[in-house]
Amino acid sequence: MLFHSSIRQELTRTFGATLVVLVTVVMTMTLIRTLGEASRGTFNPSDVMIIMGYTVLHDMPTILVTCLFIAVLTVLNRMFRDSEMVIWFGSGSGLTSLLAPLFRFAWPILVVILTLSFFILPWAYGRIEDLRDKYEKRGDVARIQPGQFQESANGDRVFFHEKDPVNRQVGSNVFIATKEPGKETITSAKTGRLDVIGPNRFLILDNGQRLEKSTDSSSLSVSVFETYGAKVGVDDTSARSYVPTNVKTTKELILDPSNRNLAELSWRAGLTLAAFNFIVIGLALAGVNPRVGRAANLGFAFMVFVLYINLLVLGKSWIEGNQVTLTAYLLVLHGGIFFLSLMWLFKRDNHWTWRGAPKCKDTKSSEVRP
């Protein structure tokens, strides 16, 4: 039908424009947050763009759900405002007949949200955690930066050196503070370089002095050297010792139905179910009432959206705290909202009143602004 085709085309344009805007906003906010974490030493500064991409991909299901709701609500409100619904109602069709073109437009988006939520989301978050863990376990050599005090991987040393203007492989004015059981050592040297001796890596210092102080007594010893070697740590290539719940695959969550795993599963399933319900909610709440202003209905719809998303977050914590089961939560929240949305849609379509007396069919166009 031509009318169905025009609705789907307008929905596609609105959805695409909204997606571009929201992705741009999320990327900007993610970039600022990632740069802040990189400056605090959480991430490698060279991995900022990679982490930003994984973060946006991790947040994409929520972005798509938001774009879908905005597109449905915006297009339907415009049709009411421009009195295009008069033509639709004049043909003998009601609001419920719009469900078919809406879901025909939305089903590819629902499939994408389902795929992202159950498969891509844990993979993207896992890559972020891998980069974070790899940067935390980097060796002493990778931690040393010219002009900065850097702590070793195990926290028992502090390094400092300045960049040599002539030889980049050599550092000048090297300073090393070491804390060991029973003693503290401060070593300084004019120059320093890295050297590999056998399977180990050493920091070779030239023309310096070493001060050693015992923590059990007040004894202090100072030694001057021409060449001194200090062993430096290497990168830790071991796997992550902690696996967050949102990194686990959907299959792992199902096979191990603990409270934390079920809570994560409720979030992934809830995104798809919420996207499905938002189509019905958008159709049920769409409309323009000239008596209360154009923005009143739109504001109420977005209040419903924020409440629904917050209930998804609260439901995750309730399941994790064993306050509610997964099945009961999915049935009560998503099933209940779907039922209430359908009832509200049927009420508007059949012009039911709270007294139970149906209005005349000709009043369908009375809610449309002339």
Average confidence (pLDDT) over 61-83 = 88
Least confident of 163-177, 283-297, 352-366: 352-366
Same domain, 49 and 144: no
| 356 and 261 within one domain | yes
Q: Averaged over 320-334, what is the pLDDT?
A: 92
Q: What is the DSSP letter of 95?
A: G
Q: How many domains does the chain fold into?
A: 2
| pLDDT at residue 211 greater than cutoff 80 | yes
Mean pLDDT over the full length of the chain:
80
Does position 163 have pLDDT exceeding 50, yes or no? yes
Least confident stretch, 29-38, 65-74, 91-100: 91-100
Give me the DSSP letters along 247-293. GS-HHHHHHS--HHHHHHHHHHHHHHHHHHHHHHHHHHH---BTTTB
Higher local confidence (pLDDT), 271 or 189: 271
Lowest average pLDDT, out of 66-75, 79-88, 116-125, 162-171, goes to: 162-171
Same domain, 261 and 224: no
What's the confidence (pLDDT) of residue 366? 40
For position 340, what pLDDT does the model report? 92
**Quick one: 105 and 250 in the same domain?**
yes
Do 83 and 131 share a domain, yes or no?
A: yes
Does position 331 have pLDDT exceeding 70, yes or no? yes
More confident residue, 179 or 61: 61
Q: Are residues 125 and 155 in the same domain?
A: no
Question: Among 186, 211, 232, which residue terminates a domain?
Answer: 232
Mean local confidence (pLDDT), 337-364: 69
pLDDT at 310: 92
Which has more confidence, 102 or 197?
102
pLDDT band at 369 (very low <50, low <70, confident <90, very high): very low
* Choice among 121-125, 292-296, 321-325, 353-357 with the minimum mean pLDDT: 353-357
109 vs 178, which has greater pLDDT?
Answer: 109
- Strands across the sheet containing 200-214: 150-151, 157-163, 170-180, 183-197, 200-214, 220-232
Between 104 and 296, name the one with better pLDDT: 104
The residue among 86 and 237 whose pLDDT is bigger is 86
Which pLDDT score, from 0 to 100, does residue 144 have?
A: 61
Residue-level pLDDT at 164: 65
CB 206 within 8 A of CB 190: yes
Q: What is the pLDDT of residue 106?
A: 92
Among residues 177, 211, 232, which one ends one of the domains? 232
DSSP conformation class of 239: P
pLDDT at residue 357 in the model: 44
Q: What is the DSSP annotation of 28-80?
A: HHHHHHHHHHHHTTSS-GGGHHHHHHHHHHHHHHHHHHHHHHHHHHHHHHHHH
Domain that holds residue 278: 2-136+241-367
Between CA 349 and CA 94 the distance in angstroms is 6
Instruction: Write down the pLDDT at residue 365.
Output: 40
- Of 215, 232, 249, the position where a domain reaches its end is 232
pLDDT tens for each residue of 224-273: 878 877 776 555 555 566 677 888 888 989 998 899 999 999 999 999 99
pLDDT tens for residues 11-20?
Answer: 999 999 999 9
pLDDT higher than threshold 70 for residue 190: yes
Could you tell me if 218 and 101 lie in one domain?
no
Is there a single domain that holds both residue 24 and residue 101? yes
Residue 253 sits in the same domain as residue 359: yes
Same domain, 254 and 341: yes
Higher-pLDDT residue of 239, 41: 41
Locus of tokens 């209005």: 359
Task: Clarify whether residues 200 and 349 are in a common domain.
Answer: no
Asked if residue 127 and residue 35 are part of one domain, the reply reads yes
Q: What is the pLDDT of residue 235?
A: 54
The rounded distance, in Å, linking the Cα atoms of 251 and 232 is 42
